[in-house]
Amino acid sequence: MQKPFRIWLVSLLCLAPLTSFASDMAERIKPCEACHGNQGRAGPDGYYPRLAGKPASYLYNQMQNFSQSRRHYTMMRRMMAPLSPQYQREMADYFANLQVPYLPPAIKSTPPSPAHMARGKQLALQGDRALKISACNACHGDNLMGNTANVPSLLGMPSAYLGAQLSAWSLGERTTVAPDCMGDIAKRLTAEDAAAVTHWLAAQEVPTQNSANPPKRITTDVRCGSAPELHGALQ
């Protein structure tokens, strides 16, 4: 056998175990797709949230929150507990870079009343001063798509999931680094208000993301332990 060919063959054989999967990370995140849908585009059952295109730091923080019992969901806890922070970070980066189209908002068979939706819109865009509830867009961005690395988008999410999260925040089942601003707000929402705002959010079309147009920084008097960048420069 000629030497160059032998070297070529040996290097090919060495690479074989590495190249036998279509893409390394695509293979490694297969377990996630069982619930979060193909390429993390959201679950087929209308509950499990989308991962694709979310800010990497946000996804990473959530993985850490599950591993460290600040968020509680047995399946996620079992999935995340054995993984190192470095590997979780790598997975977060992978999903953050996936650009896959959003599904249109689900149409409810019995549409909520216009008054209910109007209240939801009011809470989302103006808040309620009397109840000390700041508007969603004060922190989650003017287009509600999340305006910093630690603040998630609220659109493109099923109302059942949003409702479950608000309920978890209000009961202290979902917490974050103090001061826990989301927990404080959720505790002030009545069940009716929580339903109104989640129904309204879930009915909105997801705007086309434009990376050339940076999200607006909104001055807020709310201090959040999970998102220190809200009080300083954008990240």
Partner 1 sequence: MKPCSLIGRRLATLTVFVGLTLGAWVTWDNWGRFALTPVTASPSTAPHPTPHTLAHGEYLAHIGGCIACHTAKGGEPLAGGRRFDTPFGAVFSSNLTSSKTLGLGEWNANDFQNALHWGRSRDGRLLLPVFPYNHTSVFTSQDVQSLFAWLQTVQPVEHAQPAHRLTWPLGTQPVIAMWRSLFFTPTPFQSNDNQSAEWNRGAYLVQSAGHCAACHGQRNALGSFPEVDDLSGGFLSSQMWIAPSLVDATQTTIANSKLDDTANLLRTGQSPSANASGPMAEFVQHSGQYLTSADALAIATYLKSKLKISAFGAASPATGLASSSPSAQALYKTHCASCHGERGEGKAHAYPALAGNPAVVLTQPENLIQMALYGGYGPSTTQRPRPYGMPPYLFTLNNQQIAEVLNHIRSQWGNQATAVSPMQVDHVRAAIYEK
Among 2, 20, 213, 219, binds partner 1 (CB under 8 A): 20
* Binding residues among 28-47 for partner 1 as defined by CB under 8 A: 28, 30-31, 33-35, 45
Amino acid at position 226, single letter: S
Nearer Cβ to partner 1, position 70 or 121?
Answer: 70
Nearer Cβ to partner 1, position 143 or 226?
Answer: 226
Among 19, 69, 113, 209, binds partner 1 (CB under 8 A): 69
Q: Is residue 217 close enough to count as binding partner 1 by CB under 8 A?
A: no
Q: Is residue 13 close enough to count as binding partner 1 by CB under 8 A?
A: no
Cα 183 to Cα 168: distance, rounded to the nearest angstrom: 9
* Binding residues among 87-106 for partner 1 as defined by CB under 8 A: 87, 90
Count CB-CB contacts under 10 A for residue 166. Answer: 22
Cα 148 to Cα 141: distance, rounded to the nearest angstrom: 8
Cβ atoms of 235 and 188 within 8 Å: the answer is no
Cα 121 to Cα 37: distance, rounded to the nearest angstrom: 29
Cβ atoms of 186 and 194 within 8 Å: the answer is yes
* Smallest gap from residue 84 Cβ to partner 1 (A): 4
* Smallest gap from residue 43 Cβ to partner 1 (A): 9
Nearer Cβ to partner 1, position 71 or 199?
Answer: 71
Cα 228 to Cα 172: distance, rounded to the nearest angstrom: 21
Reported residue count of the chain is 235
Element spanning 116, H or E: helix 114-125
Phi-psi region of 78 (alpha: psi -120 to 50; beta: other; left: phi over 0): alpha
* Smallest gap from residue 8 Cβ to partner 1 (A): 22
Q: Is residue 83 close enough to count as binding partner 1 by CB under 8 A?
A: yes
Nearer Cβ to partner 1, position 17 or 104?
Answer: 17
Q: Is residue 17 close enough to count as binding partner 1 by CB under 8 A?
A: yes
Nearer Cβ to partner 1, position 128 or 173?
Answer: 173
Q: Is residue 114 close enough to count as binding partner 1 by CB under 8 A?
A: no
Phi-psi region of 222 (alpha: psi -120 to 50; beta: other; left: phi over 0): beta
Query: Judged by CB under 8 A, how many residues of this single chain contact partner 1?
Result: 27
Cα 135 to Cα 149: distance, rounded to the nearest angstrom: 19
Residues lying near partner 1 in the complex (CB under 8 A): 17, 20-21, 27-28, 30-31, 33-35, 45, 67-70, 74-75, 77-79, 81-84, 86-87, 90
